[in-house]
Amino acid sequence: MAATAVLAALRGFFGRFRWRPQAPALAGGVRGAARSAAAGRPDYDLLVIGGGSGGLACAKEAAQLGKKVAVVDYVEPSPRGTRWGVGGTCVNVGCIPKKLMHHAALLGGMIRDAPLYGWGVPQQVPHDWSKMAEAVQNYVKSLNWGHRVQLQERKVSYFNMKASFVDEHVVRGVTKGGKETLLSAKHIVIATGGRPRYPTEIEGALEHGITSDDIFWLKESPGKTLVVGGSYVALECAGFLTGLGLDTTVMIRSIPLRGFDQQMSALVTDYMASHGTRFLRGCTVVSVKRLLDSQLQVTWKDLASGQEGMDTFNTVLWAVGRVAETRNLDLEKAGVNTNPKSKKILVDAREATSVPHIYAIGDTAEGRPELTPTAIMAGRLLAQRLCGQSKDLMDYDNVPTTVFTPLEYGCVGLSEEAAVARHGADHVEVYHAYYKPLEFTVAERDASQCYIKMVCLRKPPKPVLGLHFLGPNAGEVTQGFALGIKCGASYAQVMRTVGIHPTCAEEVTKLRITKRSGMDPTVTGC
């Protein structure tokens, strides 16, 4: 109700900001725009293609620093017809709605804990998906409005159009109705992000499945759900679906959380399995068929035995990777090079492409972390360099992140495997501990998977190479220690840091036992 009221107020207050495609007069069409750019009279100092987190951060920063800026942004509806407003994946179909639904699931666990803390709460409390979804969607829409207003305030021109290159300085924008507009700019930033991949080689995958582009905008509960994939998106979605009381199965072809520390990944899935999520490992979907009762019949194959299995679900959610949104940009007309396989744009340390005045940031750039905060910072730093305010480059080392599974996993720096591969096992020391959050004690929760490890170089001063934390509020814990690791903290410095008692984070400052020692790392006492 409150979110609905806020959204209504925003609509009323900002009603004057009606978003219309802006069409500057460019006599002579493509040639006129090209001549204007060649004559040193481009329409804009900076043109950003993409209205996600990175693109908007870059555009706003440049405009704040006095540049004439435009954003060209268009969201193609998902195959299921889901559409959303400005703000990109994070705001609309990623971080924000994901974290809110994760929190909704955690609240369910707190309700189950409440009687042990003296609260007279009924144990069979139903969850209303529709009510939750409406509240989450209304909040997302308020963020869409906020972005639009900020662009207006900074005098950034916004074009709700599909963009493609005409040449290295000119971009064509096409509205939903087919109207074309040509825009020229001195500098162009590509920040189009990515979209979920459908495994179209599987029968029925596209016709009957959904992705993370859809799950957060469902008005009704997805019911019994099969989540296909072992990515963080797959595990996060499966985690909150299970937490909301839905029958949820995760099918993983190979390993979960590829690219993350695999000991931590195993603990994440162990916790999920012990709390009701079913896992089908080493399996791949063969087909998805809709039955007469509207249920989905899924047939899969066990890759080890070759045997087939079958079950019915209400929803099949594909989380098998993402694809860069570059295919329709006509990059070849501007001379921008991409990776032939991933279709991501090749960039250097300055985010520059093969064309010096064209840049790419965020998920569309090859070799960059697919994380909102890195895209935002890269965009801001790029804008500052283009405006002559700074020479600082984005540093992609020691970027912290958190996987918002039911038991959250936060990490920064190298995994244990990566540290050993880079420095050799004899030169790496791992300090670790199993601990029990105080909140778990009275509630009698199992803390078997609550675990911390700090990966260090063995030679003094033992610089910290990576920190991995599995437990409640992992993102909050990891964010704090990330600053120290970014500044080159050593093991000794962490040990000289006074912990805040009683917290889970203080357990990091008490890591004394090494894996090498073989001693039991279970924390006892308070």
Which residues does the annotation mark as catalytic?
A: 501
Name the H helices within 275-415: 372-386
Beta bridge partners of 44: 185
Distance CA 266, CA 261 (A): 9
Q: Name the strand (E) or helix (H) holding 137.
A: helix 129-153
CB atoms within 10 A of CB 201: 6
For 444, how many CA atoms within 13 A lie in the half-sphere containing its CB?
A: 5
Collapsed DSSP state (helix, strand, coil) of residue 219 = coil
282-294 burial, b at 16+ Cβ within 10 Å, e below that, comes to: ebbbeebeeeeee
Closest by CA to 182, choosing from 192, 194, 193, 167, is: 167
In this structure, are residues 386 and 358 in contact, taking their beta carbons and an 8 Å threshold? Answer: no
Identify the DSSP state of 52. S
Calculated CA dihedral for residues 465, 470, 472, 475, nearest 10 degrees: 40
Distance CA 449, CA 452 (A): 10
Collapsed DSSP state (helix, strand, coil) of residue 292 = coil
Collapsed DSSP state (helix, strand, coil) of residue 496 = coil
* One-letter amino acid for residue 273 of the chain: A
| Token representation of residue 496 | 């000289």
CB atoms within 10 A of CB 125: 12
| Token representation of residue 514 | 């090494």
In this structure, are residues 364 and 324 in contact, taking their beta carbons and an 8 Å threshold? Answer: yes
Distance CA 364, CA 344 (A): 5
Distances (CA, A) of 43 to 51, 181, 192, 302, 352: 19, 12, 21, 57, 21
Distance CA 275, CA 268 (A): 11
Distance CA 440, CA 413 (A): 28
* Residue 485 backbone class (left: φ over 0; alpha: ψ -120 to 50; beta: rest): alpha
Q: What is the 3-state secondary structure (H, E, C) of 421-459?
A: HHHCHHHEEEEEEECCCHHHHHCCCCCCCCEEEEEEECC
